[in-house]
């Protein structure tokens, strides 16, 4: 059985972490399959939106600690294995942001450590009110330094730091308030709410959304003046697109844009 399932419907691809007996931990095999799915999606123009969910009682419990302990059994005490592990994990997280399609995390149960990093690395998130979020490695003596990168870019730094140094979990309502998730809904509404958001995004011009997503992350790393220069060029590129021209004409003519007909 694949560790990451994929189902496509109406321009929406749903990836599902599928190791419920291990709380969907990011094992070496899980990271490899997730990286492969991301690579496949990067060139799939039929897909407009990606949903990332999970089976079982947890979204993702973080890295596989048993594998990490086994990785210590080398002459260097695991240094090479650990460096490679976090490099591979970082590439998966970056891969989600580099996808041309927006990615929506559909979160239930626990999202811990690298599992919380996974949520923060998606472009949006919808959570069950029963979900909990934590970068709790400090509780076992391991500060969540790589999850910190995604967390400090998703929520206020002081909130992220508190979670990182206390190891406490935030419930779905707090996660929504701090901006880690877009909305928290009842467990029975989770699938519908996530799919509704995905369908809304999928109804927009994919070229415009793809350009916008790339610019969203690129400009965030720049000073204000440079950010305006970059996004101005993105606006020019967007406006020169034939479908955008048609979309503006449709708006002026008071008719649906061609991609919505």
**Which CATH number fits the domain that encloses residue 249?**
1.10.12.10
pLDDT digit string, tens, across residues 42-52: 999 999 999 99
Average pLDDT, the chain: 96
Q: How many domains does the chain have?
A: 2
pLDDT at 77 over 90: no
pLDDT of residue 71: 86
CATH number at residue 173: 3.90.226.10
pLDDT digit string, tens, across residues 177-228: 999 999 999 999 999 999 999 999 999 999 999 999 999 999 999 999 999 9
| One domain, residues 216 and 164 | no
Show which of 156, 173, 202 is a domain's final residue: 202
| One domain, residues 102 and 20 | yes
Host domain of residue 249 = 206-260
pLDDT of residue 258: 85
| One domain, residues 38 and 157 | yes
pLDDT of residue 176: 98
pLDDT digit string, tens, across residues 22-41: 999 999 999 999 999 999 99
Show which of 161, 176, 202 is a domain's final residue: 202
pLDDT at 260 over 80: no
| One domain, residues 8 and 107 | yes
pLDDT of residue 261: 64
| One domain, residues 153 and 240 | no
DSSP for the chain reads --SEEEEEETTEEEEEE--GGGTT-B-HHHHHHHHHHHHHHHT-TT--EEEEEE-SS-SB--B-HHHHHHHT-STTTTHHHHHHHHHHHHHHHHHHHHSSS-EEEEE-SEEETHHHHHHHHSSEEEEETT-EEE--GGGGT---HHHHHHHHHHS-HHHHHHHHHH-PPEEHHHHHHHTSSSEEE-GGGHHHHHHHHHHHHHTS-HHHHHHHHHHHHHHHTS-HHHHHHHHHHHHHHHHTSHHHHHHHHHHHTTS--GGG-
pTM of the model: 0.96
The percentage of residues in the chain with a pLDDT greater than 70, rounded to a whole number, is 100
């Amino acid at each position: 059985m694949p560790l990451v399932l994929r189902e496509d419907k109406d321009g929406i691809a749903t990836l599902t972490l599928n190791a419920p007996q291990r709380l969907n931990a990011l094992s070496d095999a899980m990271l490899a399959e997730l990286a492969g799915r991301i690579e496949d999606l990067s060139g799939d123009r039929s897909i407009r939106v990606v949903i990332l969910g999970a089976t079982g009682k947890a979204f993702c419990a973080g890295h596989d600690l048993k594998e990490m302990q086994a990785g210590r059994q080398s002459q260097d005490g695991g240094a090479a294995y650990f460096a490679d592990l976090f490099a591979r994990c970082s590439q998966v997280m970056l891969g989600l942001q580099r996808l041309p399609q927006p990615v929506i995390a559909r979160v239930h149960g626990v999202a811990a450590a690298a599992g919380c990093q996974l949520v923060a690395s998606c472009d949006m998130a919808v959570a069950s009110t029963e979900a909990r979020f934590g970068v709790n490695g400090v509780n076992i003596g391991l500060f969540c330094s790589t999850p910190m990168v995604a967390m400090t870019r998703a929520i206020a730094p002081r909130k992220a730091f508190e979670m990182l140094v206390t190891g406490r979990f935030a419930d779905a309502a707090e996660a929504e308030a701090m901006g880690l998730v877009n909305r928290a809904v009842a467990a029975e509404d989770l699938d519908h709410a996530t799919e509704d958001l995905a369908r809304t995004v999928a109804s927009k011009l994919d070229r415009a959304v793809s350009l916008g997503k790339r610019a969203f992350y690129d400009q965030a790393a720049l000073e204000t003046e440079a950010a305006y220069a970059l996004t101005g060029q993105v606006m020019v590129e967007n406006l020169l697109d034939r479908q955008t021209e048609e979309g503006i004409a449709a708006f002026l003519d008071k008719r649906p844009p061609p991609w919505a007909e």
